[in-house]
Amino acid sequence: MKNCILLLLCCLYVPGFAQSPKKVVVSGYVLDLESGEPLIGASVAELYSQQGAYTNHFGFFSIPMPPAAQYCLLFRYGGYKEKKTCLSTLTDTLIKVYLPFHASTDTVLIEAAQRLAPELGKLQISTTTIEKLPILLGEKDVLKSLQILPGIKMGAEGSAGLHVRGGSPDQNLILLDDVPLYYVNHLAGLFSLFDPGALSQATVYKGIFPAAYHGRTASIIDLRMKEGNKRKHKHYLSLGLMSLKARTEGPIKPDTASYLFSGRLSNILPVTLASNLLNKDGFATTYYFYDLYGKVNYQLNSKDKLQLSLYAGEDKLKFGEKTPGFKGQLIQKWGNQLAAFRWSRIWGSSLFSNLTIATTRFFYDTKGQSAVLEAQEVVEQNELFLSTGISDLIAKMDIEWAASPRHFFKMGIKYIPHTFRPAYLKLHEQDVESGTENHVQLGNKQLKTTSLSVYAEDEIKLFHAWILRMGAAISTYQSGEKKYLYPEPRLSLHWAPGESLRLQLAYAYMVQYLHLLSNSRLGLPTDVWVPATAKVPPQYAHQWAAGASWQFPASLSLNIEAYYKTLGGLNTYLEGSNLLTATDEWENALALQGKGEAYGLEILLEKNSGATTGWFGYTFAVSTRQFDQINNGKPFPYNYDRRHEVSLLLLHRFHQNLSLSALWTLSSGRPFTFATSVYDLRSYDPTTWRGVSEPDESRPHFFQAEYYTARNNIRLPTYHRLDLSLQFYRQRAFGERTFTVGVYNIYSRKNPYMYFYRRELQGDDGLKQVSLFPFLPYINFAWTF
């Protein structure tokens, strides 16, 4: 491992040390004028030397330049007025630049076409845009907003799961302030846990991601919390059909320290409680979820900054039954906790570092109790407890070094001890009358693994129009007695022959040491995280990509990307296996060493400024899977292999107080496994059936056997819908009020969720379709003060 690290560092660092021309470094921060919030991804260009950079996740930039009498820097950020600053200096200079928000401009994607850095597959969507999108039931959602971008597919309708370039949800690394979250959904995947109002930026890398990001094979979803307004206190309240939100932010010490706290609580609990009062059959159900965010920042001096980020969220679902002969309840809880401390520092003028110490945890627990009653006395009682989860401790250091006008280095190290509990099941049965008891305990074996990784990357400006980015991560993973060591190289080439055209080629190899066991298409919390072991090797993926982007007049941009990806080390449950059957020997319940192939073409045409903004997105994609133990070893379409997808988004501001959002989506039907033949085995009286009694012709009851020719052997019909929303704004002395009305699926398209075959006594046999979301109106009220 040490030799590999030394070789990696030497290969990347020697070119930088070999050149030591005189230089002047201009570095600093780009900030929002009103709030002091860092602007992530702002472009900085020096007009004379043609040197440039983007601000990092802390709003910091560093540009080494040859000595000159004057430097003129142009600062740009989507939705903000650009600013030109000229300096006369012969020494390194640290500055702060504040950009004013351009209230008359709506910006869709921040990095549309003017890219100084070669990052294929990278898209940034502003949280301002996310707040305006028409989303199911009006619950603004970061992950659902990403689903409408080219190359990113939704799972089942309504689900917040992401399938990126043929990948599965577990192959996405979802980060909140540099810390991974392992389950990011509420209400069985209907909503994600991220509040757009608490975030400053949402960035997605579709497979070709920088060496600093590793550990997954499909994508990186990098979410950054706001730091909080450093200049004035602001508060926010919102009430919608599904949740109540509250947020507060402001300065602890102006321009030095700030805070942000945000919370969301579901509105479903009062509805379920009222329903239970009206329900007279003895059944009761309650459900709620909540999210809490917190962040505190303190600028120690011009070079040091401290941050503390916190998140906690939980879902709780309770079923209860009470009848004269039975009483029982089942309680399910799942959620995440996250805490991260970060220290960022500027060393000199060209070196920036960030130290992160963090912890993250996901848990899922089920508790059940039941009792059989006779004459109000308990004669039999049962208890159930099921638990699964994962927790991490994280220590990482990231460094950025603007070594020279031609070399920009990124490097870092990360250490993570993981603790897995694949499944723990405990059962207790007691017969009170006979005094007999039965105890069953399965699982309860925590798996502890460790991962250590280093990375280095150099962005080399070869000559005026060419940029080469090369780098690699080297990771080791210890699981029991088994140790894995993998290099993960990255390589990309960027050519900009003019101001309006960018051409790029890239390759990446990614390794993933974690697996998600799932036999559900919903992304339920019962899906289980497990590590790579001696029996279950890591996942890996090779991806090649090429892209071109053009900038046209009238704020139009066009981006086209093509990719080809191969996957290996995939696994899934064998037919008939699930969480309960795999508590102890989960490795033996899997089909291992699966392979995959994915390729496609993505087109994004965008208008990113003016009163009318929006985009047209198109994706052609093919994705297949192959397991020796499944489908007779033959390849089959991946569950979400939608060949064609179209998204059309329109955002229009009529005037200062009224705006319209319209979103139309269309996609090919997803694959579905359906029985090609159904056989009646025999009919029995269901009250006496034990497999031997004769059928009672007066009480026909059918038992069917289904025959499947292949996995995912049919496709559901084409999916499409139109969503609309109107936002009304009113500014008053006591704050701004926003009233939103919208409709999901305005023409009530009955999109198929699934099919099944039903045998009816009246002879109405046949194929039945299940559709979930018809015409659904919603309203939302928000108040900012």
pLDDT tens digits for range 180-198 = 999 998 887 788 999 899 9
Kindly report the number of other CB atoms within 10 A of residue 276's CB atom: 13
Regarding whether 336 and 223 lie in a shared domain, the answer is yes
Residues 633 and 698 reside in one and the same domain: no
Is the same domain home to 594 and 681?
no
The torsion angles phi and psi of 383, rounded to 5 degrees, stand at: -135, 145
- Considering the domain boundaries, does residue 748 fall inside one? no
- H-run or E-run covering 5: helix 2-18
Q: What is the pLDDT of residues 337-352, one digit of tens each?
A: 999 999 999 998 899 9
The closest alpha carbon to 581, from 423, 460, 691, 690, belongs to: 423
For residue 540, which amino acid is it? Answer: Y
544 and 679 inside one domain: no
* Beta strand segments in 129-256, E: 152-154, 162-164, 172-176, 179-180, 185-186, 191-192, 199-205, 219-225, 234-240, 243-253
Select from 683, 707, 731 the last residue of a domain: 707
Say what the pLDDT of residue 13 is.
46
Question: 263-273 pLDDT, tens per residue?
Answer: 999 988 887 77
> The dihedral of CA 209, 210, 211, 213: what is its sign?
negative
Mean pLDDT score, 278-283: 76
pLDDT at 157: 74
Check if the beta carbon of residue 176 is closer than 8 Å to that of residue 192.
no
Q: What share of the chain is helix, strand, coil (3-state, %, to 5)?
A: 5, 60, 35
Which of these, 781, 606, 784, lies nearest to 106 by C-alpha position? 606
Confidence band for 116, pLDDT divided at 50, 70 and 90: very low
Contact between residue 506 and residue 562 where contact means Cβ atoms under 8 Å apart: no
Q: Which of 39-53, 91-105, 726-740 has the lowest mean pLDDT?
A: 91-105
The burial of 37, by beta-carbon neighbours within 10 Å (0-12 exposed, 13-18 middle, 19 or more buried), is given as: buried
Determine which of 409-423, 514-528, 550-564, 692-706 has the lowest per-residue pLDDT on average: 692-706
5 pLDDT exceeds 50? no
Query: Quick one: average pLDDT of 111-136?
Result: 72
Neighbours of 8 (CB within 10 A): 21
In a domain, 520, yes or no: yes
CA 607, CA 630: separation in Å to the nearest integer? 46
Residues in the chain, total: 785
- For residue 179, tell me if it sits in a domain: yes
- Give the whole-angstrom CA distance, residue 453 versus residue 414: 5
- Whether residue 382 sits in one domain with residue 484: yes
The residues pairing with 415 across neighbouring beta strands, listed in sequence order, are: 395, 452
Assess whether 214 and 279 both reside in one domain: yes
Higher pLDDT, 636 or 113: 636
**Per-residue confidence at 9, pLDDT binned at 50, 70, 90?**
very low
pLDDT grade for 15, boundaries at 50, 70 and 90? very low
Tell how strand 93-99 and strand 24-32 pair up.
Answer: parallel
Average pLDDT over residues 103-112: 51
The last residue of a domain, from among 707, 723, 756: 707
Average pLDDT over residues 714-725: 92
CA separation for the pair 555, 610 (Å, rounded): 8
Residue 346 sits in a domain whose CATH number is 2.40.170.20
Give me the pLDDT at residue 108, please. Answer: 52
What percentage of the chain exceeds 70 in pLDDT?
88
Residue 621 has pLDDT above 90, yes or no: yes
> What is the tens place of the pLDDT at every residue in 426-480?
888 887 777 788 888 877 678 999 999 999 999 998 887 899 999 999 999 999 8
Range of the domain at 323: 122-673+778-784
C-alpha span between 691 and 681 (Å, rounded): 11
Check whether residue 639 and residue 689 sit in a common domain. Answer: no
Torsion, Cα 501 459 619 169, to 10 degrees, reads -160
Tell me: do 601 and 681 sit in the same domain: no
Task: Indicate the DSSP class of residue 101.
Answer: B
Region of 190 on the Ramachandran plot (φ > 0 left; ψ -120 to 50 alpha; else beta)? alpha
Let me know whether 360 and 450 are in one domain: yes
Q: Does residue 595 or residue 702 have the better pLDDT?
A: 595
pLDDT in tens, 369-419: 888 887 777 778 888 888 899 999 999 999 999 998 899 999 999 999 999
Closest CA to 25 of 356, 347, 250: 347
Distance of CA 753 to the CA centre of its chain: 22
Distance CA 113, CA 104 (A): 21
Domain C-terminal end among 682, 707, 732: 707
**Average pLDDT, integer, range 342-365:** 95
Find the mean pLDDT for residues 163-176: 94
What span, in angstroms and rounded, lies between the C-alpha atoms of 298 and 306? 5
User: Does residue 278 sit within a domain?
Assistant: yes
Which of 544-553, 561-570, 746-755 is most confident? 561-570
| Range from 307-311, 344-348, 650-654, 715-719 that averages highest in pLDDT | 307-311
Q: Predicted confidence band at 425 (pLDDT cuts at 50, 70, 90)?
A: confident
Distance separating alpha carbons of residues 9 and 1, to the nearest angstrom: 12
37-76 pLDDT, tens digit each: 999 989 899 888 888 889 999 999 999 988 887 889 999 9
Q: Name the residue with higher pLDDT: 749 or 272.
A: 749
Q: What would the pLDDT profile of 661-701 be if each residue is shown by its tens digit?
A: 999 999 998 888 877 777 766 555 444 433 344 445 555 55
Q: Residue 579: its pLDDT value, please?
A: 62
Task: Determine the pLDDT at residue 712.
Answer: 87
Lowest mean pLDDT among 160-164, 478-482, 516-520: 516-520
Among residues 779, 667, 666, 759, the alpha carbon closest in space to that of 704 is found at 759
Instruction: Specify the pairing of strand 735-744 against strand 776-784.
Output: antiparallel
741 within 8 A of 782, measured Cβ to Cβ: no
Most confident of 80-94, 317-331, 557-571: 557-571
Cα–Cα distance measured from residue 436 to residue 430, given in angstroms and rounded to the nearest whole number:
6
528-531 and 501-512: which strand pairing?
Answer: unpaired
Measure the CA–CA gap between 351 and 344, rounded to whole angstroms: 11
Minimum mean pLDDT range among 191-195, 278-282, 629-633, 742-746: 278-282
Residues 580 and 427: their CA atoms lie apart, in Å, by 12
Mean of per-residue pLDDT scores for the chain: 86
Q: Are 390 and 361 in contact (CB under 8 A)?
A: yes
Is the separation of the CB atoms in 208 and 545 below 8 Å? yes
CA 709, 711, 715, 716 dihedral sign is positive
Number of domains in the chain: 2
Strand bridging mode 514-517 / 528-531: antiparallel
* Overall pTM > 0.85: yes
Cα gap 36→59, rounded to integer Å: 10
- As a whole number of angstroms, the distance between CA 487 and CA 209 comes to 15
pLDDT of residue 199: 94
In a domain, 563, yes or no: yes
pLDDT of residue 756: 72
593 and 620 together in one domain: yes
User: How does residue 520 score in pLDDT terms, banded at 50, 70 and 90?
Assistant: low
Residue 90 lies in a domain: no
Q: Which residue has the higher pLDDT, 306 or 432?
A: 306
State whether residue 757 is helix, strand or coil: strand
Whether 557 and 699 share a structural domain = no
Residue 438: per-residue pLDDT: 86
Q: Is residue 34 part of a domain?
A: no
Whether residues 583 and 698 share a domain: the answer is: no
In a domain, 140, yes or no: yes
